[in-house]
Structures are given as C-alpha cells and as structure tokens.
C-alpha cells in the first residue's frame, strides 16, 4: 500500500480527488476499474443520462464507506479513470443527428424522403460501433491486467463492448438484468446499437447462456415473442406478475431464490435505473410507474452470492442528470462493487 492508502481514513470527509468515493487508489493499485461511458445518442425519450457518470462521480464523495454486507469493501481498491470528454463531445454531436431521424420517423415518414437521412443513420451506427470498440479495448486490457471491471453509462447501449470482453474470458456466463424494459428490439428506430437493443445484441454472444430479466413492465409484442421462443435462454420476471405474487403472500426472499436458480455460476449484473420505482431515479431516460425498491434489488444480489454464484462484472446505466439520481446511482455502484468483491472472496 502507498502512504496515501495507509493514511486514508474511511470515516473522514470524502475527499474530492477526482476518484470515485474519494478513494486513494489509482489504476495500478486498484482491483476494480470503473469506466464511465457518457453516451446516449439513441435515447428516444428523455435526455441527460450521458451526464450520469459525472453525476455519480460527483455524488459519490458524500457516501459513508461502511457497507453492511462488506464493511471493509473499499479496501479492494476502486478507481474510476477520467470520463472521456471526447466521447461526451461526440455524443452531443451525434445526439443532434439522431434527433432528426427520430423526428422523421415519428411523423410517419421514411428516411429516404427528401432530404435522404440514410447516410446520417449509417454515420450514427458507425459512431456507436466505435464507442463499443473503445470500451471493449479498455475492458480487455484491464481484464488482462488482472482487474475487475464495472461500467457506468450513459444509456443502456453503453456496456456492449464489456459484454464482448467478458465473453473472451468466460465461456459461459449469465446476465441478471434489472430494467423496466426488455431491451430486446432489433435496431430500434433504425439505430443498430440502440439503448433498446442491448440485450438483443447480448443474445448474439454465444457465451451468454442465460438472460434473467427482473422488473419488466414496458414491453412490445415482438419482445414477448422473442422471450417466449427463446427455449428458456431468456427468463422474464414481469413487474405486474412479481407484484401479484407478493400481494398473494409469496415472500420476496423466496422469489429471489427462484430468480437466481435460473442463472449459471458466473453472473453479470446489468442495472438500468428505470428498473427501480421512478421516485428513486426520476430523471432516468424512460421512467415507468411501478418497479423495484432499492433494497429489493440488493436483497436479490445478496441471495445471488449466498448461492455461491460469482459476480464477474456489472454496469449501472440510465442514471439521470440530477443530483438525487446521482446519489442513488453512486449507492448502487458502491453496493455492487462490494458484493462483487465479496462473491469473489467466497
């Protein structure tokens, strides 16, 4: 440990030192690297989640570091590299272009109407692919260096490159997906890498053997059909069905154990803030009434590690551009960081 790490007081005032939670680690000394991906080019409702990584970083120094599941979890070493401003600038540019396409389609017109917007769509899809490739490279390098990785989006298209990097290491892993939406659309609004298509792309990765989705409540017919015809590779726990079972006397803890039973040994957690009750992250991109309480999700994750499964990575996406949303998002990131470490120690 460096002198700075030895002198660090976890009960002290959070230091604004550029690192998440004000922790005294750098890339070399940290075991967990948290990449911020300020990208939301294809959002189709509310904007602002590109600033989610910065909001979470800003709020994180207000958190106390004692964690009830892993009191000294901060000692694992957590480091967040600088949020890439070039990606944020490209996001602003391409978001403007995407808005013209979304507007055209919402008017019932085609992209080939004058002026022809198909070249614009191609340009946007290429830009999204470049961000995916950037993240893939960053994650693969970190994994090669023996690090664990987490991603903070942006919209939910953000972690695709990380899914692909994990697939290069793990021949079989599952995704536990917290979300109001299934994200199983094929090129929603023409955008190949849409925020509504992240799990559609995940299912193209053969190493991902199971997708278990929890909290779904805003879904289209095609997505339900895809789930129903997946032969069990995709398991959906719809929010209305969850609530009906709880109202009928089922316990959440037993439901958690049932949810987890579908997952393999190695599990990735993909956490979309809109999976929660909107009071927790009201400025998320596409809020939907209903959803989960924060402690409900934490209970689910605890049961995951109690089952001796290992958390191999996670993302937190769709956190809105507001102080309260950042506060909640920071708590999710820190909890998942600690639970991932705990699962690895077991």
CATH number of domain containing 79: 3.40.800.10
Name the nearest CA neighbour of 84 among 139, 38, 133: 38
Task: Give me the domain span that covers residue 50.
Answer: 3-345
pLDDT in tens, 27-45: 999 999 999 999 998 876 7
Task: List residues bridging with 236 in a β-sheet.
Answer: 213
Q: How far is CA 127 from the centre of its chain?
A: 20
Q: What is the mean pLDDT of residues 275-287?
A: 95
**Per-residue pLDDT reduced to its tens digit, 59-103:** 999 999 999 999 999 999 999 999 999 999 999 998 888 888 888
On average, the pLDDT of the chain sits at 94
In angstroms, rounded to a whole number, what is the distance separating the alpha carbons of residues 125 and 121?
6
CB neighbourhood size of 12 (10 A): 9
Average pLDDT on 195-218 reads 96
Helix (H, G, I), strand (E, B) or coil at 119: helix
Total number of domains in the chain: 1
Which residue, 88, 87, 68, 67, is CA-closest to 78? 67
Residue 84: how many other CB atoms lie within 10 Å: 19
Q: What 3-state DSSP class applies to 289?
A: coil
Q: What angle do CA 285, 301, 305 make, to 5 degrees?
A: 150
């Amino acid at each position: 440990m460096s002198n700075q790490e030895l002198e660090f007081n976890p009960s002290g005032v959070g230091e604004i030192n550029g690192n998440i939670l004000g922790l005294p680690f750098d890339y070399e000394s940290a075991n967990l690297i948290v990449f911020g991906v300020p990208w939301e080019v294809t959002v189709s409702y509310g904007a602002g989640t590109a600033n989610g990584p910065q909001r979470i970083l800003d709020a994180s120094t207000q958190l106390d570091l004692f964690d009830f599941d892993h009191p000294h979890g901060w000692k694992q070493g957590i480091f967040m590299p600088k949020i890439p401003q070039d990606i944020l600038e490209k996001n602003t540019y391409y978001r403007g272009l995407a808005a013209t396409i979304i507007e055209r389609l919402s008017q019932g017109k085609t992209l080939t109407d004058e002026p022809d917007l198909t070249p614009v769509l191609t340009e946007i899809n290429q830009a999204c692919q470049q961000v995916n490739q950037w993240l893939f490279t960053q994650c693969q390098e970190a994994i090669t260096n023996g690090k664990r990785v987490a991603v903070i989006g942006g919209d939910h298209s953000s972690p695709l490159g990380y899914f692909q990097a994990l697939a290069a290491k793990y021949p079989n892993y599952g995704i536990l997906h917290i979300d109001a939406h299934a994200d199983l659309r094929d090129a929603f609004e023409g955008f190949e890498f849409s925020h509504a298509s992240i799990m559609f792309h995940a299912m193209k990765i053969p190493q991902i053997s199971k997708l278990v989705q929890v909290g779904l409540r805003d879904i289209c017919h095609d997505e339900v059909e895809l789930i129903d015809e997946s032969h069990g590779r995709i398991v959906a726990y719809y929010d209305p069905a969850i609530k009906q079972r709880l109202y009928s006397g089922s316990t959440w803890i037993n439901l958690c154990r049932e949810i987890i039973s579908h997952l393999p040994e190695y599990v990735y957690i993909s956490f979309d803030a809109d999976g929660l009750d909107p009071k927790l992250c009201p400025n998320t991109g596409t809020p939907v009434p209903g959803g989960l309480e924060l402690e409900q999700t934490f209970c689910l994750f605890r049961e995951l590690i109690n089952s001796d499964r290992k958390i191999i990575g996670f993302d937190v996406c769709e956190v809105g551009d507001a102080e309260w949303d950042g506060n909640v998002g920071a708590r999710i990131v820190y909890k998942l960081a600690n639970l991932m470490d705990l699962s690895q120690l077991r």
